Structure formats: structure tokens, C-alpha cells
């Protein structure tokens, strides 16, 4: 069993202009996003994850989404190196496409894995695999690691960071696991569980940033903005947020 691990972030230094050799050939792919008509800085999320999109929207951003289509099964190494490499691969692919169409966009790529007993667990292959996964996770402790890579297409600067949050799992019954797997939710997420969805019933507690488990750490993204020279206040919404009802 993986012992409790404190909140952790592994930073990567700023790099120069993102590669854009194949940009022209893929520029048409972003036409449906309306990026060609952009006249101000926008965000582009290089991920199909609805949870990541919802978290960023709750934080005041309204990113467009462009799925990178990169392979995720051909990267080897430690969980930290794998999630960072995949996050960078996604962001680089989308930035190369977005550059000629919208040259003033912040592109964010993310990837997550569950580090459990020395193994990196991504999405289950099928329902049977998800049930086997939960038989192992039950009552155990793992570390959810999310890699982030942020690119400023205006300057070409980029930076990456891996955030980690320790997850203590409950011990669901066989019937609960079967019902959970039948919803299909665990098949679509790293580690076969969510924190902000149905899987939250089976997480006893976490140590660290909950956003890391959901799929994007806002503190990590803020640090990355600083590393590439973009003030957080420059990307906040210009209109006042609607007042949320108080309990």
C-alpha cells in the first residue's frame, strides 16, 4: 500500500517557442471553435474532460476545447514523468494547431494517473477491469498525480508542473462496486474513480488539492502563469461574477 504522501508539486522550467512545424496543415481543425475571429486573449483546454472544463469555468474561465488526439499508451517512466510528458504532448499538439489561427491563446494540457502500490493506473480497459481495480483499491491509499503544461502562443513560452494528492479509499461492498461500474463513470477516468461525481461516495478523505484529483490544480496553473510571465489578474473575467446564494 502506498503510504500517505504530502501535497507535492514538481515544476519544470520555462521553455522557448512551442514547436509548430505542422501548424498550417492542422489550422483548419480549429475553425469550428471560432478561434479565427479571436481578438483578445483566450484559453484553450487541450482535454476532452468535462470535469476539467467545469472546474475551470467555476474558477472564472471559459476556455474553448480542442482534443489533441495524441496517443497515451506509448510513454514509459515514473508516474510523474508520464503525466508531465502526456500533458506537454497534448498542449504542444493543440498549440501548434492554434498558433496560426489564434496567436494570443493560453493552451493548457493535462493528464492524470493514480499511483497505487507502485503502479500507474490510468483508465480501466473495460467493466471487468474496473471491478478488478476496485477490488484492489478498496480500503487502500494511492496518490493521484496530474501533469500540467501551459503554453502562451503569443510569446512561445511554456512551463509544466506535476501536482499530487493522496487519496484514501473507502471499502465499498461488492454490490456498490457493481452498481458504480454499471454507471460507466469509472471507465472514463484515471484510477477508475472520481471525487466530484459518483465515485466521491467511496473516497474517505484526501490530503492535498482536490482539483488535482478532479483533473486540474488551480494553484499549479497559477504558478505556471507566473513562470511564463502572465499575471493571473490578466486572465480573470472582466465582468463581475454573479452572486452565489449563501446557505
Integer CA distances (angstroms), 165 to 17, 126, 141, 161, 232, in order: 31, 25, 11, 13, 23
Question: Measured between alpha carbons, how far is 135 from 138 in angstroms, rounded to an integer?
Answer: 6
Cβ atoms within 10 Å of 227's Cβ, excluding its own: 17
Catalytic hit among 111, 115, 152, 209: 111
Query: What are the C-alpha distances in Å from 19 to residues 91, 151, 156?
Result: 10, 11, 9
Catalytic, 111? Answer: yes
CB-CB contact of 144 with 114 (8 Å): yes
Instruction: Give residue 189's Cα distance to chain centre.
Output: 11
Q: List residues with catalytic annotation.
A: 111
Amino acid at each position: 500500500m502506498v503510504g500517505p504522501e504530502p501535497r507535492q508539486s514538481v515544476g519544470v522550467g520555462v521553455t522557448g517557442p512551442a514547436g509548430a512545424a505542422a501548424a498550417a496543415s492542422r489550422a483548419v481543425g480549429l475553425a469550428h471553435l471560432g478561434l479565427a475571429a479571436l481578438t483578445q486573449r483566450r484559453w484553450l483546454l487541450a482535454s476532452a474532460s468535462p470535469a476539467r472544463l467545469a472546474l475551470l469555468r467555476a474558477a472564472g474561465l471559459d476556455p474553448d476545447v480542442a482534443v489533441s488526439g495524441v496517443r497515451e499508451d506509448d510513454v514509459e517512466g515514473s508516474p510523474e514523468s508520464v503525466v508531465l510528458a502526456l500533458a506537454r504532448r497534448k498542449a504542444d499538439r493543440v498549440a501548434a494547431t492554434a498558433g496560426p489561427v489564434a496567436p494570443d491563446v493560453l493552451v493548457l494540457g493535462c493528464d492524470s494517473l493514480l499511483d497505487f502500490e507502485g503502479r500507474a493506473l490510468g483508465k480501466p480497459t473495460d467493466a471487468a477491469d474496473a471491478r478488478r481495480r476496485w477490488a484492489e483499491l478498496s480500503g487502500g491509499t494511492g496518490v493521484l498525480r496530474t501533469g500540467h503544461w501551459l503554453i502562451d502562443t503569443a510569446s512561445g513560452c511554456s512551463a509544466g508542473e506535476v501536482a499530487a494528492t493522496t487519496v484514501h479509499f473507502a471499502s465499498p461492498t461488492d454490490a456498490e462496486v457493481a452498481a458504480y461500474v454499471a454507471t460507466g463513470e469509472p471507465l472514463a477516468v484515471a484510477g477508475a474513480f472520481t471525487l466530484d461525481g459518483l465515485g466521491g461516495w467511496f473516497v474517505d478523505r484526501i490530503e492535498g488539492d482536490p482539483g488535482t484529483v478532479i483533473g486540474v490544480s488551480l494553484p499549479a496553473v497559477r504558478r505556471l502563469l507566473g513562470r511564463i510571465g502572465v499575471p493571473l489578474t490578466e486572465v480573470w473575467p472582466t465582468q463581475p461574477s454573479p452572486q452565489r446564494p449563501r446557505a
